[in-house]
Structure 1
Amino acid sequence: MIVLQKLADVKAVAQGGYPQAERCRLSIGHSEVLTNDPNVVAAINISGNFSFQPCSHGDFLGAILGKGIAREKLGDIILQGEKGAHVLIVPELVDFLMSTLDKVANVSVSCTQIPLLALEYEPPRTQSFKTVEASLRVDALASAGFKISRSKLVNLISNGDVRVNWTTVTKNGTTLKTGDIVSVSGKGRLKIGEINSTKKGKFSVELIRYL
């Protein structure tokens, strides 16, 4: 996405429905057209009596996929405890899901569309720490942030399992900056915080790990 935004008159916007969204849709277009975040994600509230049969993320996902909806058409699923869940989905499938989804596991449910501002989610828990590195390369900072070897991180990049700002990274030497979000499949996410230069020419970097 960063590369696209460097092109003349091109803007890229990632939208997942709420600030901490892991699954986002990327809209690309001329800067004068994408003046605001495009409305490419919709939200559905799935409600039912889950008091006696709590359902997991997998239960909701399985019920939705069972209706023939492809996984790439779905965003995050935000569990709401006994009340059900909020689901992010492409707008063109809202009516279909609301008219076909009537059960999650053995619980009868009803679906209603809600505005994105009505989404209920908890602020993420984070842990901050600092590392001193010779460079700001993604393989250096991500290996420090996720506490895995640099060689293993390089393998994850080769397998397409590392993303920066929701865009898959293909080069180990991709340079990071303050505010970048790094995601690694199976490991979670971290944010690049404040960056300062040391007297020895290295970089002191604040890493914010999402728990």
Structure 2
Amino acid sequence: MDFNQAEIEDLLSRAAKGQIVLTDFLDPAAASLTRDLLRNYPEVNYKVDGGYPNAEKVRFAFYPIYVFPEDVELNLGFIEITGNFKFQAVTHRDFLGAILGTGIKREKVGDLILIPNGCQVVVDRDLVPYLIQQLDKVHRVGVTVKEIVREELLLPEAKTREVVAFVKSLRLDSVGASGFGISRSQMVKEIEGQKVRVNWKLQVKPSYEVAPGDVISLRGRGRVEVLEIAGVSKSGRNKVILRRYL
């Protein structure tokens, strides 16, 4: 979803005045900007959850500092959509389209996890009964929808590869090129073409200096995480340890 700063600030103001409020599901960029805004509200605590560790889409609960965290619910629900897809290939987009086709807004839906015979979905809990009743087809295939619990999610194992690079500097173009396995000139082109984000924020300066913990995203090529700056080689190059998400 597009980041609506005014809407998030309104929720934070309400929390500062004593309410417990929830955001919709936010993508990584919006979640990062929300964390930035939270620094302006020291009287507000928050919880964040997307249903499982490292979920891409998450929702926040904002609440006054005097409220106990265990008293705050994020109202997450979980459904499983299954059908006979043996003769009909379906994708993440097909399942999402079917859900939105029932009239539900995109921001009420979290991550979708493909499973062998269907899909598991994180949604606003209030919508679970509606989806069970209304969602009956995905790409012309009849489906069954049932509620599941968090522990039943079949999470895919993340595929990663560690990359050790020796770079002259910690510039984004240099580190990014090593992480994605492309030339530095190509990385510069991608950065200036507004295809690169650092910590989910658009970055258009090839000279931007990265640091441990930074996540570099390149449209169409995935993500690279900077794990460690492990010293300097005898030739004066920085040894950088990266994690490439495949």
Answer yes or no: same fold by TM over 0.5: yes
Partner of 2:81: 46
TM-score (norm 2): 0.66
Counterpart amino acid of 2:143? V
Identical pairs, percent: 33
Change (3 A) 1:34 1:50: farther
How many residues align? The count is 204
Matched residue SS, 2:53 = coil
Change (3 A) 1:12 1:127: farther
Matched residue SS, 1:62 = helix
Q: Is residue 188 of structure 1 aligned with residue 222 of structure 2?
A: yes
* Structure with higher RCO (Cα < 8 A, 6+ apart): 1
Deviations 1:79-136 (A, max 9, x none): 1112x11012233433332221011122211212222222102211111111223444
Q: CA RMSD in A?
A: 3.3
Change (3 A) 1:132 1:7: farther
Q: Is the 8 A contact 1:136 1:203 kept in 2?
A: yes
Partner of 1:87: 121
Q: CA deviation at 1:208?
A: 1.2
**Larger of the two Rg values belongs to structure:** 2
Change (3 A) 1:144 1:121: same
Change (3 A) 1:26 1:56: closer
Q: CA deviation at 1:152?
A: 2.5
Matched residue SS, 2:104 = coil
Q: Is residue 72 of structure 1 aligned with residue 104 of structure 2?
A: no
Which runs of no fewer than 5 residues in structure 1 stay unpaired? none
Q: Is the 8 A contact 2:172 2:209 kept in 1?
A: yes
TM-score (norm 1): 0.75
Q: Is the 8 A contact 1:163 1:184 kept in 2?
A: no
Change (3 A) 1:175 1:68: same
Which runs of no fewer than 5 residues in structure 2 stay unpaired? 1-31
Q: Is residue 152 of structure 1 aligned with residue 185 of structure 2?
A: no
Counterpart amino acid of 1:203? N
Matched residue SS, 1:93 = helix
Change (3 A) 1:137 1:93: farther
